Chains A and B, each alone.
Chain A
Amino acid sequence: MANSPIIQGFRDGLAAGDLLLQKCNSCQQLNMYPRYACPHCQSDDLGWQKAAGTGTLMSVTVLRAGGPEGFEQEIPYALGIVKLDEGVQLLGRMAPDEDGEWASYACDQRVTFQPARDKTYANFGHAE
């Protein structure tokens, strides 16, 4: 997959410790996942806005078997769908509890973005 500006921009944000949301410079709407043209107004004048990082956990699961190719050794890990306070949502990984498990997570909890510089996806943990 050749990296496009929207993929690179999002990942550059993560590398700098920021969760970036695509923002349409024409209609000011936020788009997640980032798009090649704004789904609201079809403009290709697209930029970025730094997310506050806080949101609500819509669902969470811990994958314990059957990791896809390249992920076999990482099992188990937790995946969550987070609706950010800005109104858009995305799927990311959930940080483990101190015991290495994820028993503390439940739907509708408040969560927050946790910078992890070597990742290509967003990590979330419990909000303070």
Chain B
Amino acid sequence: MAEQWPSYVDAGQPNDPVFVGVGEIPSGRYPDRNFIGDLTKVAILALKDAGMAPKDVDTILLIPNLHGFADQADLVFSRMVEELGLNRHAKASLMIHSGGSTSDNAVRSAAGLITAGHAKTVLVLHCERWGSANLAEMVTALSKNGIPQEWEQVTGLQFNAVGGLITQRYMHDTGSTAEEMASVCVTLRKWARLNPNAMFKDKDLTVEQILASKMISDPLHALECPPLADGAVAFVMTSAENARKRGLTESVRIAGSGGCVSHYSIGQETNLSVLGWPLAAERAYAQSGWGPEDADLAQVYDSYAAVTTIAMEGLGLCPKGEGARWFAAGNGDPGGKLPVNTNGGLLSAGHTGVGGGTALLVEGVRQLLHRAEQPRQVEGCRRAIIGGTGGTYMDAQVLLLERVEG
């Protein structure tokens, strides 16, 4: 397998794509905020973080929202070019979409454009208004994502039930208890309490509270289901050469990337407690030349606890079948063996639709740039593993990131 997946672009090559800045505003319920206003805000924050102005950007890459078509159309038809004053200056404004893993594919797309010389600096933007949207409408919309209309929508399947099916099989195969599953959510909440942008930054969470909450889709309790949130994030990628020319002394490069699309509908996944992670991880590690033991933190998609434990196991970050118990022992906590989802993840920072994974990625880049607030900053971290998925967990996407200095 390894020879099929050659090394990523060598470190230090002029066109090696690097992350140079991130921007984010708080997630939660913010009915008074505005979609385009939020996008503009995070764009400017990310550019400032990169020491740049809008004119330094030649390509805008948009991550979709799921709250409505009208706002989507604004993005598809280049509204952000005008909002940022880039009329005639921008070469391209385009949208990438693969559900929850969009951020990983946006990174690959931006990286490809930069490496091939099609773009010099790419600004990636996302905003979601789920927290302020009509909940019933969002539930219905979400019940169509990755669920084939003729074969599975007719059964009444929806997203929490997909999470329930995966969790049920994971608990069966690993012997994980309800307490152990709930402990994953508790770890995420501990991180969220340290993140000023997290939806639940002010609220503690215990295993007892989770297990006492209403059953939503067995074995998932209400407090184990992701809270829909408003939120916006942005990041800037450019070439290593451009970063050097601009005097940027720290950046984040991609050491490897791997992916696996294992199915479309949950009814066709043949290994519900494994999914595509082992294959995606093998492909990514073959490119990077380093492995799970070298990571200083992990940012792994967490719409449900089992989604994360399955990914952590497939990525080799904890022993096979032991993911939930690994979290229950505090290994992923602040101060633990391997910090996981230091922003609080989707489950505690807020599920911002396609942007839940983008927020995880942005936090990983922020950590590697050593720009997270204390005491959340993982001291001296150099390598992060980003794991993305979404929908019916049809794909597993892995980005291996590392800090570059000088």
User: B215 and A64: CB pair below 8 A?
Assistant: yes
Q: Which of B155, B222, B269 interacts with A79 by CB under 8 Å?
A: B155
Surface stretch bound by A, among B21-29, B164-172, B291-299: B164-172
Is A118 in the interface zone, CB < 8 Å from B?
Answer: no
Instruction: Provide the bound-state CA to CA distance between A74 and B218, in Å.
Output: 16
User: B140 and A65: CB pair below 8 A?
Assistant: no
**A63 and B158 in contact (CB under 8 A), knowing A58-B272, A107-B168, A107-B169?**
yes
**A65 and B169 in contact (CB under 8 A), knowing A91-B151, A121-B155?**
no
Instruction: Provide the bound-state CA to CA distance between A96 and B173, in Å.
Output: 24
Instruction: Provide the bound-state CA to CA distance between A58 and B168, in Å.
Output: 9
Binary B-proximity of A55-83 (CB < 8 A = 1, otherwise 0): 00011111111111101001001010101
The chain A residue sitting closest to B144, CB to CB, is: A68
Interface centre among B153, B155, B156, B165 (most CB of A within 10 A): B155
The chain A residue sitting closest to B269, CB to CB, is: A81
Q: How many A-B residue pairs have CB under 8 A?
A: 109
Q: How far does the Cβ of B250 sit from chain A's closest Cβ, in whole Å? A: 44
Q: How far does the Cβ of B404 sit from chain A's closest Cβ, in whole Å? A: 43
Q: Which of A63, A90, A92, A121 interacts with B161 by CB under 8 Å?
A: A63
Surface stretch bound by A, among B4-12, B42-50, B260-268, B277-285: B260-268
Instruction: Provide the bound-state CA to CA distance between A59 and B172, in Å.
Output: 9
The chain A residue sitting closest to B148, CB to CB, is: A33
CB contacts under 8 Å to A, within B138-169, are 139-140, 143, 148-158, 160-161, 164-169
The chain B residue sitting closest to A119, CB to CB, is: B154
User: A33 and B140: CB pair below 8 A?
Assistant: no
User: A91 and B169: CB pair below 8 A?
Assistant: no
Residues of A in contact, count (CB < 8 Å): 33
Binary B-proximity of A106-118 (CB < 8 A = 1, otherwise 0): 1110000000000
Instruction: Provide the bound-state CA to CA distance between A89 and B332, in Å.
Output: 36
Is B331 in the interface zone, CB < 8 Å from A?
Answer: no
Q: Which residues of B contact A74 (CB under 8 A)?
A: 156
CB contacts under 8 Å to A, within B232-280, are 265-270, 272
Is B116 in the interface zone, CB < 8 Å from A?
Answer: no
Instruction: Provide the bound-state CA to CA distance between A88 and B381, in Å.
Output: 46
Interface centre among A1, A90, A106 (most CB of B within 10 A): A90
Q: How far does the Cβ of A31 sit from chain B's closest Cβ, in whole Å? A: 11
User: A77 and B169: CB pair below 8 A?
Assistant: no
The chain B residue sitting closest to A101, CB to CB, is: B218
Q: Which 6 A-B pairs have the closest CB atoms?
A: A61-B164, A91-B267, A68-B143, A107-B172, A71-B156, A59-B169
Identify the A interface with B (CB < 8 A). 1, 7, 32-33, 58-69, 71, 74, 77, 79, 81, 83, 89-93, 102, 106-108, 120-121
